[in-house]
Amino acid sequence: MTKDEARLEDVRGWRRKAARDLRAALHEAIREDDVLWSIITLHAQQAAEKSLKALLAWHDAPFRKTHSLEELGRQCAALDSTLQELANEAAPLTEYA
């Protein structure tokens, strides 16, 4: 496996994990009774975190093991400044990690 293929597989892995977290959040959100908002926010935070890590992996940008959307968002915005506003909006989700 080449370095590019390994990087692409890493990105796909992060995206798969993010998609699973998003599905879990949506599954809980459509319940008709006893919705567990803490579970929804946890999975939403995890989906955002893993999506940011996928972007960093795509750019081969190292990141430390963290749940901080603020930190990951700063790194992503450094790669693409158009992401700054989105990163700022996502940062408060960190408390649900």
| Separation in Å, CA 65 to CA 4, 22, 26, 77, 95 | 22, 20, 26, 18, 16
Q: Higher pLDDT residue, 9 or 92?
A: 9
Q: For residue 59, what pLDDT is reported?
A: 96
Where do the domains of the chain lie?
A: 3-96
Which amino acid type is present at position 74?
A: R
Report whether pLDDT(14) > 90. yes
Which residue in 60, 43, 55 sits closest to 97, CA to CA? Answer: 43
Tell me: the pLDDT tens digits for 39-90?
999 999 999 999 999 999 999 999 999 999 999 999 999 999 999 999 999 8
Band of the pLDDT at 1, cuts 50, 70, 90? Answer: confident
Report whether pLDDT(94) > 90. no
What is the value of pTM for the model shown?
Answer: 0.90
